[in-house]
Structure formats: C-alpha cells, structure tokens
C-alpha cells in the first residue's frame, strides 16, 4: 500500500498551480514509482475566492500559511510564494516545526541560504530547491548527486529563460526589446517583477546557489558583478552575428588556480558554432566541467509552469524517500569553504567593444594606442560602412583576453577622447574552451 505524503502548498500562482495540476495528472505514476501518494492537504493563498480556472476542493484553501506550518499532519511545506521577507518567515517557521521544506525561491536562497541551510541542519530536516535554478533542468541534482565525485572547474549557464527568450526574439524576429519582454511576460516566463529577469538579478541568484554547491562559499549578492539584457541593442546582436557570435546572457561560476571563485552575470558573445549559441527561446542550458567527468551539458525549459513544477515534484519524490530513510535523501551540503570571491576587475576574458566615433583621419590609431597603453591586445577591428548623414560611425573591436579592470580603465580613457561621440558598449567574448 502507498505511503501518503501530506503537502502544505504555499502559493498557487503560476508554478504552484502547475504543481497542483501535475500532481493530479501524474499521481498514479508517482505512486507506482515512489511508493508514495502525494496529497495536497492545505494551500495558502492571498485570495481564496479567486477564479483560477481549475478546481480545488472546498476547504483546503487558507489565507494564513501558519495553518500549514501548525498542521501536525503535514509532512512537507512547498514554498512558492516568492519574494524574500515573507518567504523567509515561512521557511524558517516550517523548518523549526521540523517540516521538510521545498522552495523554488532563488532570491531567498541567494540572500539567506547560509542561514537557512544551517537551520535545516540544526533541525535535522531537509531543504530542497531543485526548482530554484534553471526551471525544469535538474541541475541541482546534477551537481549534488551525479557529479559528487568531481571538483567543479567551471559552470557557464544560460539560466534566465526570460532573457534568453528576449535575446532570441530580438535576433530572429527582429523585435524590439519591449515587445519581446511583453511576449515573455504573457507566456508566464518572467518573474512578478520582471526587473530581476532583465537586469540579471535572477540569473545572479541562481549563479550564487551553483557557486555554493560547487565551492562551499555563499557569495553575497553584492559581490556578484551583474549586467542584464536591458541595454543590449539589435545593432550589437547583428554585429556579433557578423563576427561569428551570438549574444547570450551568461552566468559564470569558476575557480582559478588560487582557489578564487568568480561569479558574474553578463551579456556575452558566444561562438556561433558552440552549442550554447543555439540555445534559444525560453530554454536554458548549463555547461559544467568537472575534473573527473570533463565537459557536460544540460538543456531544457528554464521557466514556465510545467517545467518548473516538474522540478518541484522531483523534490517531493526525494522528500518521500527521505521519510523512509533516516540517513536523508538530498545529496550533500558543502561544509568546507573551498575558495574566496574573486574581485571582478581581476577576472579575465576577451571583449567586444563598439564605439561611435567621428569619421575623421587617425581615429583608429588614437583608439588602438589607448588600448595598447593598457597592455591589451586587439584581435580585430571592423568598421561597417556609414549609413545616412550621422556624423558618428560605428567602430567595433575584439580584444585578446585581458583583466576586466584594465579593460574598464582603457574604455574610460577612450570615452574621454574628442573623436568618441557616445558611451562605449563593451561585452565579454567567451570562447568557452574552444
């Protein structure tokens, strides 16, 4: 006979509704595979009268999540309310009540993960968060379980579905940024506040979680250099394409030889023939290199109701196994601190630079001299034909690898030259081991 796992579901928004519906849809399959029947016993929502377009049994809705935490029958609390302050109170109360907790809340983990993990350990209850990173891709399980025998050398991820959707639609359908963002919102990919999607904050939260699992270090959000897709122009997408690259918002987590951990999120040029360049739409992909396994790649829907609820349901299956297994069932939690955060100015890559310059003699010589003075090599210079009557023309450069700080200093000098008529655009070029 199946064991019954009683769930308290906090939040019935996009992902919460997906969890509820997919538990109904695949309940028999889950019972067959896990030996457990998953029963949603209570659901906390803001408004019990709202029409959600599907049936929820009368009497299981409440407006107070304390009703879930205080219910002795409930085994596991699923936190899908989002935000940080209230979600933090809920997760802490649930762990203190010795309930297993599942959360998809990457902002909460990025900001308070070290305290929540410590609390879960103190209370000896598991905290699961597969849905917090890369939607339907089981990347937490990959790092925690499948690659447990590896030193993680690097992670390069397209880990925000909304941004990737926007960049794809700008590149392929020539949509303006605002139109592409509206589409992503209408499709349910964006966060309630899409600012976190487009300013890179959401991807940074996910990178922080991956860095913790990989290196035992909770990098603080303010230590992560973050740039989003808000300022990416169609012109740069086109120029990048002509140079043999696609622009992707990349989250990068890697360790250098001195055990310094680099965590950053930036729009970056990726070689068109690299597999990450063909990850389009809402899809995410995460390339993980381990010292034993080598290069691995994981791909799937990074946002959306069904994909994200699939990740939550996999955590529910682990929670069921955990009830049967005193040793616990969640993979390791790192205890050693294997590294320290690396200052962004010391991180190294190649760069794409677009300048708007006056079309006069000696401009290229003047600019390349400034770059050479900062000990940075140039691998290509391109100047497309001028269009129209604008007195400014585009000039693109691609550099050899250099420290970010040196590159920023060089651009500061270039911006003050009289031949340069607008703030420079700079993006990283990631050759991804190619």
Q: Is 200 in the site for ligand HSE (CB under 6 A)?
A: no
Residues 6+ apart with CB under 8 A from 125: 95, 98, 99, 100, 101
Q: Is 279 in the site for ligand HSE (CB under 6 A)?
A: no
Residues with catalytic annotation? 206
Q: Is 161 in the site for ligand HSE (CB under 6 A)?
A: yes
| Pair 211, 253: CB distance under 8 Å | yes
Kind plus residue range of the DSSP H or E element containing 366: helix 363-373
Q: Is 214 in the site for ligand HSE (CB under 6 A)?
A: no
Stretch that binds ligand HSE, among 54-62, 156-164, 340-348, 352-360 (CB under 6 A): 156-164
Q: What are phi and psi of 345, to 5 degrees?
A: -65, -20
Dihedral sign of CA atoms 186, 192, 197, 198 in order: positive
Smallest gap, in angstroms, from Cβ of residue 274 to ligand HSE?
A: 21
Smallest gap, in angstroms, from Cβ of residue 18 to ligand HSE?
A: 12
Q: Is 130 in the site for ligand HSE (CB under 6 A)?
A: no
Query: How far is it, in rounded angstroms, from Cα 346 to Cα 355?
Result: 24
Is 97 or 142 the residue whose CB approaches ligand HSE more closely? 142
Number of neighbouring beta carbons within 10 Å of residue 243: 16
Q: Is 302 in the site for ligand HSE (CB under 6 A)?
A: yes
Q: Is 79 in the site for ligand HSE (CB under 6 A)?
A: no
Is 251 or 290 the residue whose CB approaches ligand HSE more closely? 251
Dihedral sign of CA atoms 62, 65, 71, 73 in order: positive
| Pair 376, 410: CB distance under 8 Å | yes
Contact letters (x/-) for ligand HSE, 342-361, by CB under 6 A? --------------------
DSSP-based three-state secondary structure for 350 = strand
Smallest gap, in angstroms, from Cβ of residue 282 to ligand HSE?
A: 7
Query: How far is it, in rounded angstroms, from Cα 172 to Cα 281?
Result: 10
Separation in Å, CA 258 to CA 61, 121, 261:
53, 30, 9
Q: Is 168 in the site for ligand HSE (CB under 6 A)?
A: no
Q: Is 197 in the site for ligand HSE (CB under 6 A)?
A: yes
Contact letters (x/-) for ligand HSE, 373-412, by CB under 6 A? ----------------------------------------
| Pair 40, 27: CB distance under 8 Å | no
Q: Is 202 in the site for ligand HSE (CB under 6 A)?
A: yes
Which member of 20, 177, 189, 215 binds ligand HSE (CB under 6 A)?
A: 189
Which member of 103, 162, 168, 322 binds ligand HSE (CB under 6 A)?
A: 162
Query: How far is it, in rounded angstroms, from Cα 309 to Cα 202?
Result: 18
β-pair partners for 288: 155, 296
Q: Is 126 in the site for ligand HSE (CB under 6 A)?
A: no
Binding site for ligand HSE (CB under 6 A): 135, 160-162, 189-191, 197, 202, 302-303
């Amino acid at each position: 006979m199946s064991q019954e796992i009683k769930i308290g579901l906090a939040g019935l928004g996009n992902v919460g509704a997906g969890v509820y519906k997919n538990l109904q849809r695949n309940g028999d399959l889950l019972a067959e595979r896990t030996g457990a029947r998953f029963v949603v016993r209570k659901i906390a929502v803001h408004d019990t009268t709202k029409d959600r377009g599907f049936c929820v049994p009368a009497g299981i809705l409440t407006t107070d999540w304390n009703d879930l935490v205080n219910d002795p029958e409930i085994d596991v609390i699923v936190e899908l309310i989002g935000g940080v302050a209230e979600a933090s109170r809920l997760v802490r109360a649930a762990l203190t009540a010795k309930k297993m907790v599942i959360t998809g809340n990457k902002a909460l983990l990025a900001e308070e993960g070290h305290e929540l993990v410590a609390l879960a350990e103190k209370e000896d209850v598991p905290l699961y968060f597969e849905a917090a990173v890369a939607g339907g891709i089981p990347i937490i399980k990959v790092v925690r379980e499948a690659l447990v025998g590896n030193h993680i050398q690097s992670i390069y991820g397209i880990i925000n579905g909304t941004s990737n959707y926007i960049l794809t639609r700008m590149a392929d359908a020539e949509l303006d940024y605002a139109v592409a963002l509206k589409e992503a919102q209408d499709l349910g990919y964006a966060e309630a506040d899409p600012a976190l999607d487009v300013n890179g904050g959401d991807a940074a939260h996910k990178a922080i979680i991956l860095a913790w699992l990989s290196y035992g270090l909770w990098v603080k959000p303010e230590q992560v250099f973050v740039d989003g897709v808000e300022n990416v122009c169609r012109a740069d997408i086109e120029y990048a394409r002509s140079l043999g690259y696609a622009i992707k918002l990349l989250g990068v987590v890697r360790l250098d030889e001195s055990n310094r951990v680099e965590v950053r999120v930036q729009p970056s040029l990726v070689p068109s023939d690299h597999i990450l360049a063909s990850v389009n739409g809402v899809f995410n992909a995460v390339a993980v290199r381990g010292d034993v396994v080598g290069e691995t790649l994981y791909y799937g829907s990074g946002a959306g109701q069904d994909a994200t609820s699939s990740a939550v349901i996999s955590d529910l299956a682990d929670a069921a196994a955990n009830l049967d297994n005193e040793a616990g069932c969640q993979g390791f939690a790192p205890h050693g601190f294997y590294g320290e955060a690396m200052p962004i100015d010391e991180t190294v890559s190649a760069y794409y630079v677009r300048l708007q310059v006056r079309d006069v003699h000696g401009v290229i010589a003047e600019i390349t001299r400034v770059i050479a003075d900062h000990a940075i090599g140039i691998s290509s210079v391109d100047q497309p034909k001028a269009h129209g009557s604008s007195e400014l023309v585009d000039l693109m450069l691609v550099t050899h690898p250099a420290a970010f700080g040196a590159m920023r200093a060089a651009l500061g000098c270039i911006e003050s030259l009289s031949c340069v008529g607008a703030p420079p655009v700079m993006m990283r070029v990631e050759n991804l081991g190619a």
